[in-house]
Homo-oligomer: A and B are copies of this chain.
Amino acid sequence: MEGVSVASPPERLLLGPGPSPVHTRVLEAQARAMVGHLDPWFLEVTDQIADMLRTVFRTHNQLTYAVSGTGSAGMETAVTNVVEPGDTVIVGVNGVFGGRIADTAQRAGADVVALEEPWGRIVPVERVASAIKAHPGAKLVALVHAETSTGAHQPLEEVGELLRGTDTLFLVDAVTSLAGVPLEVDAWGIDIVYSGTQKCLSVPPGLAPITFSAKAEDVVERRSSTVRSWYLDVSAVRRYWGGERAYHHTAPISALLGLHEGLRMVLEEGLETRWARHAEVGALFQEHVQDRDAELLAQEGHRLPQLTTFALPGDVEEAPLRARLLAEHGIEVGGGLGTFAGRAWRVGLMGEGATHANVDRLLDAVDDLLEG
């Protein structure tokens, strides 16, 4: 094994479903000197991260932190801490990530009511309303705000309204939506929201921002069974992120310093300006895609600007073209998953990646390859 060379990454423009491009300010923050996870200086940094996350989530929730794992660890934290064996869980399944919530809930012992919709469609509020009526004792309703596998943009506000004042929690996957499109955790009555760092926050993958409402915290406290995960058990983790600062597991210091800098950049730009930038750049790209006779796969009126899925026109084979785009132009885009595999691309214009220049560069490169 002696003689493994330095890993020097090739230059890439990351326009896939994640990770998104990361600013050198954030990368350099990850190279700062190591400190202890219980160092008083570092504990202040974690407080600042929690405060900045509250601003980005638009919440006053006390229990707001970054899970020491990727977005999927956030999903598991969200589900596992509130679900107990035998609970009924209503999940919108219109793509990979809704399916993943359902799987995670089953592993936590839940009876899952899956509201399946064709890929690319949203879950209509009426379907959610009927399910809530049919299962009045449901522990939670889970929806994916931004389905990274389809590009569908799920409306949330009316569902929050339906659940207000009930015992049912509202859980939202905001992995690809946070800081890319409007998300109002408190105003929309959402109880548990998790995200990832490597999408519209433009921070490397490895952490999952999460927030729990007081109602959700109360459900955690009234559990009759132990949470199935030790690592993700929020009752213990919050003693590190909260006032007591007790040791639970060693926090991923460098990744948190990167997130701190990334959040600073989001707030420097301003959340609403950032939403507007994503909206404008994504709409422009989707126009160009349609001009080229490619079919947008997400439902009209419910398309995410930051993540576009489309079927390539005519008889173009997606995988070889995608490989050439990476090899010859250094541009990464994603292939379709599930029912979209083999015919679709997923293009992310997320965080640092959401610029007019990137839209031009991608379109020029693809035009070049198709003509060549």
Hey, which bits of chain A sit against chain B, CB under 8 A? 1-2, 4, 6-12, 14, 16, 18-22, 24, 27-37, 39-42, 45, 48, 51-52, 54-55, 68-73, 75-76, 100, 103-104, 106-108, 196, 198, 204-206, 226-232, 247-255, 257-258, 260-261, 263-264, 267-268, 326, 332, 337
Contact = CB atoms under 8 A, between A and B. Distances in A.
Contact of A34 (B69, B204, B229): B204
A70 B33 contact: no
A344 to B, nearest CB: 15
The 3 closest A-B pairs by CB, nearest first: A206-B252, A31-B31, A72-B249
Given A198-B250, A230-B72, A19 B34 contact: yes
Given A76-B231, A228-B107, A254 B257 contact: no
A94 to B, nearest CB: 18
Nearest to A251: B205
Nearest to A268: B2
> Interface of chain A, helix or strand or loop or mixed?
loop
B108 A255 contact: no
A7 B41 CA distance: 9
A188 B69 CA distance: 31
A227 B253 CA distance: 29
A337 B251 CA distance: 17
B250 A18 contact: yes
B52 A1 contact: yes
A254 B247 contact: no
Given A11-B33, A252-B255, 5 more contacts: A19-B250, A69-B231, A206-B206, A206-B252, A206-B254
B12 A34 contact: yes
Nearest to A205: B250
Contacts of A76: 229-231
A132 B109 CA distance: 32
Contacts of A30: 27, 30-31, 254
Given A34-B12, A34-B27, A229 B230 contact: no
